[in-house]
Structure 1
Amino acid sequence: MSRTIVRRVLDLELLDPRKYQATPGKLSITRYDQDLGNTACDVYDGFLHPQFDSAAPAGAPPTGPTTDPYDRSRDIEHSGTETCGTVSRT
């Protein structure tokens, strides 16, 4: 069995319409980051593409660092460039 691990950070604000141009009672997204593990590299079509040991990789080979997808002590940093590494556990 293999799975794709997704970790997302979504920060929201409720803005004061007297100070900002905002709709009363509506949330505003201030930050959205994600970290994906065990998914195909260089495939950006809006879908996840899990990697299985029995199937040949469909995208570019992993070139990034090995990371633990369950390590919540590290922050998700959006660098602007997507790196494709390997996961230490699934």
Structure 2
Amino acid sequence: MRNKISNILWGLIFIIAGLGFAGNVLFGWNFDLFFPGWWTLFIIIPCFISMIRNGFGFGATLGFIIGVLLLLRNYVEFSIG
């Protein structure tokens, strides 16, 4: 069952990307797959899929949190202290 969910998630990701590119060509949308911090998706997506398949393990959850924080670094200004 968990493998089926991850396959559905991967399928939705590819469908959304395909719709974005098709919208660029057909309707002149301004869809760009590469945005500031796009590389953090290589951390976030596998950790998210691992959390769905195996539950909230320490490594997957920590990786997910770190990936989200790295992504947010491009959009939110953090001030510590």
Q: TM-score range by the shorter chain?
A: under 0.3
Question: Considering only CA atoms, is the larger Rg found in Structure 1 or Structure 2?
Answer: 1
Larger relative helix fraction? 2
TM-score, normalising length from structure 1? Answer: 0.25
TM-score, normalising length from structure 2? Answer: 0.27
